[in-house]
Amino acid sequence: MSAKSSADPRNPRAAALQVLLTVLRDQRSLDAAIEAHEAALPEARDRALCRALAYGVLRHHRRLGALRDQLLRSPLRRRDQDVALTVELGLLQLLDMEVAPHAAVSETVTLARQTGKPWAGRLVNALLRRFQREQAQCLAAVDSDPAVRHSVPDWLAGCLRADWPADWESLLARQNCRAPMTLRVNRRRARPDQVAAQLAAQGSAAAGQPGAPDALVLEQPLAIGQLPGFAEGAVSVQDVAAQFAAPLLAAQDGDRVLDACAAPGGKAAHILEQADVSLLALDRDASRLEAVGATLERLGLKADCEAADAADVGAWWDGRAFDRILLDAPCSGTGVIRRHPDIKWLRRADDIARLQAGQKRLLAALWPLLAPGGRLVYATCSILAAENEAVVAAFMADRADAHAVMPDLPVGRAVGYGRQILTGDSAVDGFYYACLEKR
């Protein structure tokens, strides 16, 4: 909003607009933006509405923008991004939310008037009312292009079409669906059937997932405070696809284990829940490493945590080999867009080559640290071949002492050395896994 804005920060629509500006104008993450702006909303229902609006616009940003531009006689100026996003908020409510049309228009016009731009209210009112009259024609005009219809930048649509020619359009659609909430039960403190019974007693249904014995998928999401045993360390929130990492690593009691890029700590915790190992958790971001320590403390687990760049081996390694290494490499995050729709607008095409270079650097640096007979699991939450199979194939071409074992998973598809899970396969996030053993 402009400096003259008189918007009430306690209004959920005004807060949602500020979240969107923080993401799209200031290029900050959606999580950080929500944390910064929803604190002013005292009511839980207002915070929920703010989140629904912000997530909805970011999921459908390109389509909503195309509809807005279809309605305008001339494009809005860059400095009027607040007004442009206000229109998108109104269109979202008319298209995709259970808001009465008259309320959607009225509340959005009120928000536009608070931008400090006298013309904004009149413009927004005219555009939304025209859309109500001409909705079918407007949608037909913008929906012929799959990248616009499913709201992804052209570069990402092109990558997905090249990598997954038979799946790319359905994949784009699945990226805009809401992801289920999944729990991981800490087997040291509870059993899945016990937690499921506790959930049922409070009216919440949960189901297990094939191949993920510690997982419970909730029928409806719950606030953290409503999860039975969360504060006591009985459960954590973690998607099923991420829960495959620890079983694939297959650490045994007494093993020395490295989690090379550990934050926020879910996979490290799962490893420790499954076996009595000596675990070193690294992350180059000291502030994110604090989250790892907090997670382990809540779950009653212990590990050595060190802030370091895993690829800079000389700065942290003590010379003792590891029996198991988990390399959950920094990546584009394109497999978790349905949970983090801001990824579509914060990533750029040239990020992929930079990320791939870092992934190759990490893999090459960590392999010498693996003991003979040991296993390294390479993982990403990406669905781009450049970050996954291309990285592992390049590594394997130079390593006579490396042997790839195809991950045994109930979802996904074999792609050379590893297994690729696409977003929405059996309702799980997009992930890639490769298991490399040292001869």
Each residue's pLDDT tens digit, 286-314: 999 999 999 999 999 999 999 999 999 99
Question: What is the arithmetic mean of pLDDT over 148-153?
Answer: 98
Instruction: Indicate the pLDDT class of residue 398, thresholds 50, 70 and 90.
Output: confident
Burial class (CB in 10 A: 0-12, 13-18, 19+), 139: middle
Q: Tell me the two tokens of residue 205.
A: 């249904």
Kindly provide the b/e burial profile for residues 244-263, where b requires at least 16 CB atoms within 10 angstroms of the residue's own CB: bbbbbbebeeebbbbbbbbb
Annotated active-site residue in 138, 305, 331, 381: 381
pLDDT of residue 117: 94
**How far apart are alpha carbons 387 and 381 in whole angstroms?**
10
**How far apart are alpha carbons 147 and 169 in whole angstroms?**
9
Tens digits of per-residue pLDDT, 195-254? Answer: 999 999 999 999 999 889 999 999 999 999 999 999 999 999 999 999 999 999 999 999
pLDDT of residue 287: 93
Q: Tell me the two tokens of residue 164.
A: 């997954």
Instruction: Indicate the pLDDT class of residue 98, thresholds 50, 70 and 90.
Output: confident
Q: Do residues 88 and 55 make contact, with C-beta atoms less than 8 angstroms apart?
A: no
Tens digits of per-residue pLDDT, 99-115? Answer: 999 999 999 999 999 99
Size (the chain), residues = 439
Rg, Å, the chain Cα set? 23
**How far apart are alpha carbons 338 and 408 in whole angstroms?**
25
pLDDT of residue 4: 45
Question: What is the arithmetic mean of pLDDT over 272-276?
Answer: 98
Q: CA dihedral in degrees (87, 92, 98, 101; nearest 10)?
A: 40
Q: Do residues 183 and 238 make contact, with C-beta atoms less than 8 angstroms apart?
A: yes
Number of CB atoms found within 10 A of residue 46's CB: 18
| % the chain with pLDDT above 70 | 98
The residues, any chain, with a CB within 8 Å of residue 45's CB and separated by 6 or more, are none
Q: Do residues 245 and 267 make contact, with C-beta atoms less than 8 angstroms apart?
A: yes
**How far apart are alpha carbons 411 and 425 in whole angstroms?**
7
Tens digits of per-residue pLDDT, 382-391? Answer: 999 999 999 9
Element (H, E) at 106: helix 101-113
DSSP letter, residue 42: -
Element (H, E) at 288: helix 286-299
Q: Do residues 418 and 392 make contact, with C-beta atoms less than 8 angstroms apart?
A: yes
**How far apart are alpha carbons 42 and 8 in whole angstroms?**
13
Question: What is the arithmetic mean of pLDDT over 367-372?
Answer: 98
Question: What is the arithmetic mean of pLDDT over 395-402?
Answer: 94
Q: Is 305 labeled as catalytic in the residue annotation?
A: no
**48 three-state secondary structure:** helix
**pTM for this model (two decimals):** 0.94
> Strands of 206-209's sheet, edge to edge?
206-209, 212-218, 182-185, 235-237
**How far apart are alpha carbons 325 and 189 in whole angstroms?**
25
**How far apart are alpha carbons 192 and 194 in whole angstroms?**
5
Question: What is the arithmetic mean of pLDDT over 163-174?
Answer: 96
Q: Tell me the two tokens of residue 432.
A: 């890639």
pLDDT of residue 9: 67
| % the chain with pLDDT above 90 | 95
Q: Do residues 12 and 99 make contact, with C-beta atoms less than 8 angstroms apart?
A: no
- List of domains in the chain: 12-143 (1.10.940.10), 182-237 (3.30.70.1170), 241-438 (3.40.50.150)
Q: Which residues pair with 405 in a beta bridge?
A: 435
DSSP letter, residue 303: -
Q: Tell me the two tokens of residue 121.
A: 């209210």
DSSP of 210-236? TTEEEEEEESS---GGGSTTTTTTSEE
Is a pLDDT exceeding 60 seen at residue 139? Answer: yes
Instruction: Indicate the pLDDT class of residue 7, thresholds 50, 70 and 90.
Output: low
From residue 153, give the alpha-carbon distance in Å to each of 145, 387, 429.
11, 18, 20
Is a pLDDT exceeding 80 seen at residue 8? Answer: no
